[in-house]
Amino acid sequence: MGKKIQYAVVARGAAVLAEHGAGGTTTNAGAVARQILERLHAAVGGAAADCRVSYTQGLYVFHVMRADGLTALCMTDDDATAASGRRIPFAFLEDIHGKFVKTYGRAALTALAYAMNDEFSRVLSKQMDYYSNDPNADCITRMKGEMDQVRSIMIDNIDKVLERGDRLEMLVDKTTTMQGNTMRFKRQARRFRNTVWWRNVKLTAAVILILLAIIYIVLAYMCHGFTLPSCVC
């Protein structure tokens, strides 16, 4: 397997911060790359939006990814592009962009041209070799695509679950209200039963007292006095 990614550069606007070319391709590829960088930098007054584009130049294709104020660019041969589409080149660009931002952070926004070249060109060389020659690179990229697809499906399912959750929450609220009404009804029924019971007790006691009073009056009449003198021995 020959080299697929033959040149790579990381730039801020038109200023190259780091670059690496395989097999002496830096000079010619760098000239074309600088034209592309200047074209992007000139777009909208140098404030071009984030983008992913590819340009064909003879037998080579230049892939560009611009994000967070930085531009990552690589050159591949046309055969490599036909074999893997833009999948591997843009996976490479995402990788080096992430490594560059993680390594230098905001310092990259004010650094001079080629300020990171000595150190980061070795990273470019290593990642170029990996994405050009390691068969796992394409598998990993494909897996990432499948994972992104699965993630999109999961997010969609989560949205549906959340929407269903809102409906369930409404049902729960209604159920809670019904439970509250049931509890209030039970308390009211219990108080009503207690009230009726005490009323029955009072009524029974009153009837008993009245009956005792009647019996006493009858006995007093028959025994010729309230002290029942004729009935008490």
The domains of the chain are located at 5-179, 186-226
Report, as an integer, the average pLDDT of 55-78: 90
Q: In one letter, which amino acid is 45?
A: G
Helical (H) or strand (E) element with 24: none
Give long-range contacts, CB 8 A cutoff, 24+ apart: 34-39.
36/62, 36/64, 36/73, 37/9, 37/11, 37/13, 37/71, 37/73, 38/14
* pTM for the predicted model, two decimal places: 0.57
Question: Residue 180 — pLDDT band, cuts 50, 70, 90?
Answer: confident
- Angle 136-61-14 (CA atoms, 0-180°, nearest 5)? 105
Q: In one letter, which amino acid is 222?
A: M
Classify domain 5-179 at the CATH class level: alpha beta
pLDDT digits (tens, 9 = 90+) for 96-112: 999 999 999 999 889 99
Report, as an integer, the average pLDDT of 43-56: 74
- What angle do helix axes 135-222 and 87-104 make, rounded to 10 degrees? 70
